[in-house]
Chain A
Amino acid sequence: MIVFQDLKKNFGKFEVLKTINLKINEGGIFAILGPNGSGKTTLIKSLLGMVIPQNGTITINNQQVIHKWNYRDKVDYLPQIANFPSNLKVIELINMVKDIRGRKCRDQELINLFRITPFLNKKLGTLSGGTKQRVNLVLTFMFDSPLIILDEPTSGLDPVALITLKELIINEKAKGKTIIITSHIMSFVEELSDEVVFILDGEIYFQGSVSKLKEQTKQSSFEYAIASILKEQYV
C-alpha cells in the first residue's frame, strides 16, 4: 500500500501540491487525472524521489521513501517525455540500464512485443517519437517490479502499439501488480482503471471508481463527468 500524508510542494511561490492525503491499495490499476499543471507529474515524481516535498511523508508498504533510494529497485517508471542520450544506440541503452539494475530481466520478450528489433542498432537521436516511446516502454516493463508508474504512456503510440500496451498492462495487473497511470486519454483510463483520483490545483477533488464519479456528477459518460468537474472549476 502506498500512503501519501500531508504532502506539500512549492516551486518558489507556486504551490503545486497543497496537502495531499492519498492511499493507494496494493494490486490494481490506479489512474491519476487532472488538467495540465494540476500537479500529477509532481505527485508521481515525489513518489519516485525526483522531487523532494517540503512537508509530509510517503510510505510504500510502511517504509518511508523520501531521501531513500533502495526502494526504487521495486519500482518501474515510464517518464512523460522520452528524453534519451541521443548519441547512444538503442541496444547500448538497454544494456546499460540492465547493467545498472543488475537484475534478471525480460528484455528480449518486450523487444519482440513492441517490434523494436529493426531499430536496435540505430542511434536514439534518429528515432521517431512513437518509436522512442516504445523503447521507453521496453525499458520500463523489462524488470518485472511490483509497482509500475506510467506517466502519459500512450503519447505518440500507433494503434497497434496502443493495443499491445493495453494487453500488457492488463497482464501485469493479473500478476497482482500495482499500476499507477496518468493520462489525458479518457477512453484509455475508463477501460483500464479500477480507481481514479482527480487532482485540481494541487488538491484531491475526487477519489473512487469511474461509476461513482459518473454518479456524483450526474453524467452518463466518463468524459462528460470529467468535463463537468472542470467547468464547475473554471466558471
Chain B
Amino acid sequence: MFKILKYSIFDLLRSRWSFIYLVFYLLLGSVLLLLNSNLSNAIITLLNVVTVLVPLIGTIFGIMYYYDSKEFTELLLAQPIKRSNIFLGQYFGVAISLSLSLIIGLGIPFLFYGLVISEKVFEFISLIIVGTFLTFIFTAISFFIALSFDNKIKGFSVAILMWLLLAVIYDGIFLISLVYFEQYPLDVFSLTAVMLNPIDLGRTLMLLKLDISALLGYTGAIFKKFFGTNLGSTISFIVLIIWSLIPILGIVWKSNKKDF
C-alpha cells in the first residue's frame, strides 16, 4: 500500500490543482486576518468556509482522481498487489495531499500573524483537525461513489448531490423539522441529527471549543447541556472517527467485489 501511496502523493504534488488549492488557502488565510485584524474572528469566519468548502473540494478531488487514474489502476490490478491496497493507497494519497494543502495554506499566514504566542492556538488546531477530518471523510465517500459507478458523469453527479445533501439540504430539513415539531421534546432528535452529518458534527465540535454562546445555536446548547464541553467534544470526536472509518471500509468492501 505504501508504494501506491508514495506514487499517488508524488503524482498529486506535481499536479497544478493541489498547488492552486494551497495558494487559495494562503490567500484566504491572509485576507481574513487582514480584514478581521483579530485571530478569533478570523477563525470563526474560517470555520464557515472550512465546513462547506473542504467537503466540496474533497469530494471533487476524490472523484476526479479516481476516474483520471483508472488506466494506472488497471495496470496495477495485474500486479502482485492486494486489491484493496491499491485503492486505499490512492485514497490516502489524495486525502493526505489535500490535508497538507489545508494545513500549510492556513498555517503559514496564521503563524506569521503570531499564532503561537496567542492563546488562540488550540482553537486554530481544532479548526485544522476538523478540516482534516472532513477531507478524509468526504474523499473516502467520493472514492466509494466512484467505485460504485463506472460512468464518470453518473459518479460525478451522485458525489455532488451527496455534498449538496450533507452541506446544504440536511441543515434546511433539520431546521424545518425543529420549527415544525416545536411543541415536542427535540433533544434526542437533534443530537442524533447532528451525529448523522459529519459537517454539522465538525461545526458543533468547533463551536464547543470556541465557546461562543451566540454562535452555539440550539444544537450546540443541547450538546453543552448534556455533555458539558469536554465530554461533548470527546463524543463528537469519536463519531467523526467512525464517520471516517465507514466509507473507508466501504472502499475495501466495494473494491473486493468489483470487476475490471
Contacts and interface: CB of A to CB of B under 8 A. Distances in A.
Contact of A50 (B78, B80, B81, B257): B78
A11 B82 CA distance: 23
Interface stretch (A23-31, A93-101, A186-194, A200-208): A93-101
Interface stretch (B30-38, B66-74, B173-181, B207-215): B66-74
Given A50-B260, A51-B259, A69 B78 contact: no
A229 B70 CA distance: 37
Contact of B79 (A51, A72, A83): A72
B81 A84 contact: no
Report the 10 A-B pairs with minimum CB-CB distance, sorted nearest first.
Answer: A83-B71, A73-B80, A72-B80, A77-B78, A85-B72, A51-B259, A50-B260, A69-B82, A50-B77, A100-B79
Sort chain A's interface into a size bin: 20 to 34
B72 A79 contact: no
A70 interface: yes
Contacts of B188: none
A52 B260 CA distance: 9
Contact of B259 (A52, A70, A83, A99): A52
Interface in A7-28: 11
A45 interface: yes
Given A50-B74, A50-B78, A83-B71, 16 more contacts: A49-B77, A49-B83, A50-B77, A50-B260, A51-B259, A52-B257, A69-B83, A83-B70, A85-B11, A85-B69, A85-B72, A96-B7, A97-B75, A99-B3, A100-B79, A101-B79
Contacts of A83: 70-71, 74-75
B256 interface: yes
Contact of A100 (B3, B71, B82): B3
B109 to A, nearest CB: 31
23 contacts: A45-B259, A48-B77, A49-B77, A50-B259, A50-B260, A52-B258, A52-B259, A67-B256, A69-B80, A69-B83, A70-B80, A71-B80, A72-B78, A72-B80, A79-B78, A83-B70, A84-B71, A84-B75, A85-B69, A85-B72, A97-B79, A100-B81, A101-B79
B81 A45 contact: no
A69 B260 contact: no
Contacts of B77: 48-50
B81 to A, nearest CB: 6
Q: Of B3, B76, B77, which is in contact with the most chain A CB atoms at under 10 Å from its CB?
A: B77
A67 B82 CA distance: 9
Contacts of B258: 52
Interface in A65-113: 67, 69-73, 75, 77, 79, 83-86, 96-97, 99-101
Nearest to B72: A85
Interface of B: 3, 7, 11, 69-72, 74-83, 256-260
A100 B8 CA distance: 13
A79 B73 CA distance: 12
A48 B81 contact: no
Contacts of A101: 79-80
Contact of A11 (B71, B83, B259): B259
A137 B117 CA distance: 60
A47 B11 CA distance: 30
A48 B75 CA distance: 12
B76 A79 contact: no
Contacts of A69: 80-83
B220 to A, nearest CB: 46
A69 B76 CA distance: 11
A107 to B, nearest CB: 15
Given A52-B259, A67-B256, A85 B78 contact: no
Interface string A21-60: 0000000000000000000000001001111100000000
Interface string A130-169: 0000000000000000000000000000000000000000
Contacts of B75: 79, 83-85, 97
A85 B71 contact: yes
A101 B78 CA distance: 11
Contacts of B78: 48, 50, 72, 75, 77, 79
Contacts of B69: 85
A99 B70 CA distance: 20
A206 B159 CA distance: 47
Nearest to B76: A100
A52 B259 CA distance: 6
